[in-house]
Amino acid sequence: MLFRSHDIRDPNDPQLDELAARYGLHPLHIEDCRHGGQNAKVEEQPGYLFVVLKPVMIGADGQLEFSDLDLFLGPDFLITVQESECQPVRALLDQLQAAPSTLPTRADQLFYRIADGVVDAYLPALDYFDELSDSLDEEVLQNPSPGSLDRIFSAKRSLIVLRRILANTRDVTLHLQRTETTLIGRDLWPFLRDIFDHVARNLDTVEVQRDLLSGAMEIYLSADRKSTRLNSSH
């Protein structure tokens, strides 16, 4: 079945209202697109699936940056709505659109490729926190300072948010595996399980990173208590 792919770069674009009228999209889902800040989720409606994914990237200042990518998957259409600029997702969508000859022939296949690309885009953030955890561990052993503790707390806060996003994304991929909708072909089920496995591994990685940061914090606090006792004894 031939399908139409619609790439909306601004949720306030009137084209989104035109597509909503054409495909019978629920007004609350359009409202979700325009208000942002949604959790990753999947909702089933007669005639389509509404899915919110949460792309993540590391900013120039080392802080996590989040955005919303909304997808409407129907039997013969796929609509993507990027609520804010996220370079990895923009590059993914542009790459898919730039090579129409290699585009999937079904809407659900394109949906899978986008979802898989969003999950793959988590890896740079995980690699960043791997390196940060290692460097902070070495720092508190060799040259601890109050700044070390601040960086540990900041990283732990970021990982808490990242863990919540990954947990919600895992729930989305689990739901997509188990749904009985005819909008996703059975041939894609193994690929959806693969996405689920990737997200689950990412969650395990975040837990290890949090443990490493907790260990670094304990080392710092232990050294600080020891220094305080030595100073008070003089």
- Name the one residue in this structure whose structure tokens are 């909008």: 183
Check residue 37 and report its DSSP letter.
-
Residue 222 structure tokens: 């232990």
pLDDT tens-digit profile, the chain (234 residues) = 578 999 999 999 999 999 999 999 999 999 999 987 889 999 999 999 999 999 998 887 778 888 899 999 999 999 999 987 778 888 888 887 776 667 788 999 999 999 999 999 999 999 999 999 999 988 888 887 888 889 899 999 999 999 999 999 999 999 998 888 999 999 999 999 999 999 999 999 999 999 999 998 888 887 666 555 545 555
Q: Give phi and psi for 11, each to the nearest 5.
A: -60, -15
- Residues 222, 148: Cα–Cα separation, whole Å: 13
